[in-house]
Amino acid sequence: MQREEKQLEASLDALLSQVADLKNSLGSFIYKLENEYDRLTWPSVLDSFALLSGQLNTLNKVLKHEKTPLFRNQVIIPLVLSPDRDEDLMRQTEGRVPVFSHEVVPDHLRTKPDPEVEEQEKQLTTDAARIGADAAQKQIQSLNKMCSNLLEKISKEERESESGGLRPNKQTFNPADTNALVAAVAFGKGLSNWRPSGSSGPGQPGQPGAGTILAGTSGLQQVQMAGAPSQQQPMLSGVQMAQAGQPGKMPSGIKTNIKSASMHPYQRS
């Protein structure tokens, strides 16, 4: 008998310790929600929920432990009822229960749920009894199917995330092409010495731009020479012959080109 009493006291002490931790966590979380809601972040809320969930799981483990006696088999009988204020009761209940009288005993020592909760439970039982066996079986199968599909999707996402974290990232470039492009830009490796067919002039091999610039310069000098008085008449006579041969067209473009080409861009006034 003494062994059972000691085991009961040890179980109650462990249970009270777990309940006190859970109460403190709930109190701090409620305080955050009421006073720090303006700067409360979602990760902090998740941390509070995770702490409460872990403490509830620990409490369930304590209740389901093999050394924990069945508290439902224990009977609590009030020995003394008094309308006077009890300081010890106030200290143990942290000021929630000042007296242990006939008014509060039915609420604190109740073995049945509240009348409102009991009425709702009866209503749910009545509604469940109205459903036929076939309809209830169909609903059960539909719910099981939905739960199975949801579990499969969750498991698939977990497997994909784990496999994606283990396998290396897929390569999206070719290192050989990258090296060839860098060598071509930096050192000209693999580039051909091709030049346009009409370009002329002294230019080094592999530099077609120089020949093009020189060709453009010589062409400008030729245009300047064409603007001299000794050679202007044959060119104008050629234009007049073209006008005589095609009376319906005005070779204005040729005149404009000749005039603009005859003016040197760096000629002093």
Chain segment 207-218, per-residue pLDDT in tens: 444 444 434 444
Angstrom distance (rounded) from CA 259 to CA 103? 119
Does the pLDDT value for residue 254 go beyond 70? no
Residue 11 has pLDDT above 80, yes or no: yes
The residue extents of the domains of the chain are 1-74, 76-111, 118-157
CA atoms of 189 and 145, how far apart (whole Å): 65
pLDDT: which is higher, 161 or 84:
84
| Rounded (10°) angle between helices 229-245 and 208-226 | 90
| Mean pLDDT computed over every residue of the chain | 75
**What is the pLDDT, as a whole number, of residue 56?**
93
Between 9 and 151, whose confidence is greater? 151
pLDDT in tens, 106-127: 888 887 888 888 899 999 999 8
pLDDT at 147: 94
What is the secondary structure of the chain as a DSSP string? -HHHHHHHHHHHHHHHHHHHHHHHHHHHHHHHHHHSTTS--HHHHHHHHHHHHHHHHHHHHHHH-TTS--GGG--------BSS--HHHHHHTTTS---B-TTTHHHHT-SS--HHHHHHHHHHHHHHHHS-HHHHHHHHHHHHHHHHHHHHHHHHHHHHHHHHHHSPPPP-S-HHHHHHHHHHHHH-TT------TT--SS--TT-HHHHHHHHHHHHHHHHHHHTSHHHHHHHHHHHHHHHHH-TT---HHHHHHHHHHHS-TT---
- In this prediction, residue 28 carries a pLDDT of 92
Q: Is residue 38 pLDDT above 90, yes or no? A: no
pLDDT for residue 237 is more than 50: no
What's the pTM? 0.39
Query: Quick check: 143 pLDDT over 70?
Result: yes
What pLDDT score was predicted for residue 191? 79
Maximum Cα interatomic distance, the chain, rounded to a whole number of Å: 141
CA distances from 89 to 75, 84, 100, 219 (A): 20, 11, 8, 114
Question: Considering only 111-115, 144-148, 152-156, 197-201, which range has the smallest mean pLDDT?
Answer: 197-201
d(CA 74, CA 82): 23
- pLDDT over 70 at 232, yes or no: no
Phi first, then psi, for residue 79 (nearest 5°) are: -90, -35
Q: What fold, for 1-74?
A: Methane Monooxygenase Hydroxylase; Chain G, domain 1 (1.20.58)
Q: Which one has a higher pLDDT value, 168 or 63?
A: 63
Residue 240 has pLDDT above 70, yes or no: no
Task: Report the alpha-carbon angle 17-19-22, nearest 5.
Answer: 110
What is the share, in percent, of the chain residues with pLDDT greater than 70?
A: 68
Integer angstrom CA distances of residue 19 from 50, 56, 239, 254: 16, 9, 112, 104
* Least confident among 70-74, 203-207, 216-220: 216-220
Q: Structure tokens of 58?
A: 């620990």
What integer pLDDT is reported at residue 5 of this predicted model?
Answer: 81
> Is 200 or 72 the better-scoring residue by pLDDT?
72
Q: pLDDT value at position 189?
A: 83
Residue 82, beta-bridge partner list: 100
**pLDDT higher at 102 or 261:** 102
Alpha carbon dihedral 12, 18, 22, 24, in 10-degree steps, equals 90
